[in-house]
Chains A and B, each alone.
Chain A
Amino acid sequence: MKLGSQAEVRWGEIARNSGYTASKPSTTSVVVLTADTALDQPVRVALLHELVDFWTKGSGCSVDEITAVIGDPVQT
């Protein structure tokens, strides 16, 4: 399943000495996606795996260096 519209992408770069994981200098990337519809969990998990695979292949980072979140639409 693909989501229904083109993604809007915003980048935020964390400078050296400005990111920590477990109190140690971090090499983690955080990728947060808000879906345009509420997702069933199997669909979400499949998309998360796809996102992590895409990210690790594109960046060269390991699977342990990515935190990925795919959330449902925010209720306002």
Chain B
Amino acid sequence: MPLYLTNSAAGALDDEAKKKIADDITRIHCSITGAPPIFVHAFFAQGIPDMPLGDKSVLTFGSIRSGRSDAQKADITGQIRHAVSGHTGIPVEAVDVKIFDTPAHWAMEGGEIMPEPGEEAAWLAAHQDRPEAPVA
């Protein structure tokens, strides 16, 4: 966690765009929150029943650990909308991003409860052998 799940209209996102958007989501989330990249999941699908597109072409739900400020969440939302638009040519007005808070203690990764924001050091130290773990 965070998990950024993106629903899109058919043909809106090709594989190249998904990779670039995933890179940007990871960069944006980490730069704004200070979270380590190892925590960031960016998944893409079409026709997700619980994520109706309405009049949008792309809709991203970000489930992030509780504790981020409203300003941080607005910054994440704005930057991701523009990243998606920039990589696809879809007007930014047709891209929506919604952020949802999830208490860290509700989630488990690597077999352990997720740390609260800013308290990642112990968790990371215990998971240094993960393939995507950051180099110390």
Contact = CB atoms under 8 A, between A and B. Distances in A.
A10 B103 CA distance: 22
A73 interface: no
B132 A67 contact: no
A44 B107 CA distance: 9
Interface string A1-23: 00000000010111101111111
Interface in A1-53: 10, 12-15, 17-24, 26, 28, 30, 41, 44-45, 48-49, 52
A19 B25 CA distance: 12
B3 A18 contact: no
Interface residues of A, number: 31
A28 B107 CA distance: 14
B41 A30 contact: yes
B37 to A, nearest CB: 4
Contact of B26 (A12, A22, A41, A64): A22
Given A19-B41, A22-B26, A69-B102, 19 more contacts: A14-B43, A15-B44, A18-B45, A19-B42, A20-B18, A21-B40, A21-B42, A23-B22, A23-B23, A23-B37, A23-B40, A30-B41, A30-B43, A49-B108, A66-B109, A67-B1, A67-B109, A70-B106, A72-B106
8 closest pairs, A vs B, by CB? A20-B22, A22-B132, A63-B111, A17-B15, A22-B37, A18-B44, A48-B108, A19-B43
20 contacts: A10-B49, A12-B48, A13-B45, A14-B43, A14-B44, A18-B45, A19-B43, A20-B19, A20-B41, A22-B37, A22-B39, A22-B132, A24-B132, A52-B111, A63-B111, A64-B111, A67-B1, A69-B106, A71-B103, A72-B106
Interface of B: 1, 3, 15, 18-19, 22-23, 26-27, 37-45, 48-49, 63, 102-103, 105-111, 113, 127, 130-132
